[in-house]
Amino acid sequence: PEGRRSSGLNAIWVARNRFAVLDKNHVILIKNNKNEITKKIQLANCDELFYAGTGLLLIRENDHISLYDAQQKRSLASVRIGKAKYAIWSNDMNYLSLLAKHQLVICNRKLEQLCIIQENVPVKSGAWDDSGVFIYTTSNHIKYALVNGDHGIIRTLDLPIYITKIKGNSVFCLDREVRPRLLTIDPTEYKFKLALINRKYDE
């Protein structure tokens, strides 16, 4: 099939055959696979879109993120966070981590805030592991965050890295030169805390 082009600030899939485009006038255009506009959503302050599953969008407006129903054209919920750079869903889509420059906010699927973590140095990246723990990086550390707000340092870094995936005790990441790297972490501390929270005392 022939490729089709159009301009936009950002594009996110909202269904198997539909995607949302944020245009330069901050209008959200819902388009089909033929790049035809099927719906327009006018939101004056929207400056970024993030993925939120079928029929939904995460919309960044000023100092908050909204969960927006693209079908019904209405906001379902919102959470305050200073200029979020990344929105990272857990594998089961039950939890969401929003990353701002010095802040990490973890929410549930309904965008209810579960915890907020402040950092003195910039938050760089993050990913969820299979057990529902958020692993993230700052300029000089790999850290963990549990959904109850408990957090800590896993290991120190010599240079910043950008996490792409967590699998067991392996951290798949990119360095500043965008070279793939594989680091090993010791998950003992956060696995122990997670077991206590989940009352799995045999672990």
Q: What is the pLDDT of residues 178-195, one digit of tens each?
A: 999 999 999 989 999 998
CA distances from 198 to 105, 121, 133, 146, 166 (A): 21, 31, 12, 11, 21
Do 69 and 94 belong to one domain? no
Q: Give me the CATH number covering residue 178.
A: 2.130.10.10
Q: Count the neighbouring beta carbons within 10 Å of the beta carbon of residue 60.
A: 22
Do 141 and 110 belong to one domain? yes
Nearest to 109 by CA among 100, 120, 97, 118: 97
What is the pLDDT at residue 1?
A: 53
Q: Does position 136 have pLDDT exceeding 60, yes or no? A: yes
The residue segments making up the domain with residue 63 are 1-80
What is the pTM assigned to this prediction?
Answer: 0.90
Q: What is the DSSP letter of 185?
A: -
Q: Does position 3 have pLDDT exceeding 80, yes or no? A: no
Q: Give me the CATH number covering residue 7.
A: 2.40.10.480
Average pLDDT over residues 157-162: 94
CB 65 within 8 A of CB 58: yes
Q: What does the alpha-carbon distance between residue 155 and residue 148 come to, in Å, rounded to a whole number?
A: 21
Average pLDDT over residues 6-15: 87
Nearest to 119 by CA among 97, 101, 145: 101
Q: Does position 40 have pLDDT exceeding 80, yes or no? A: yes
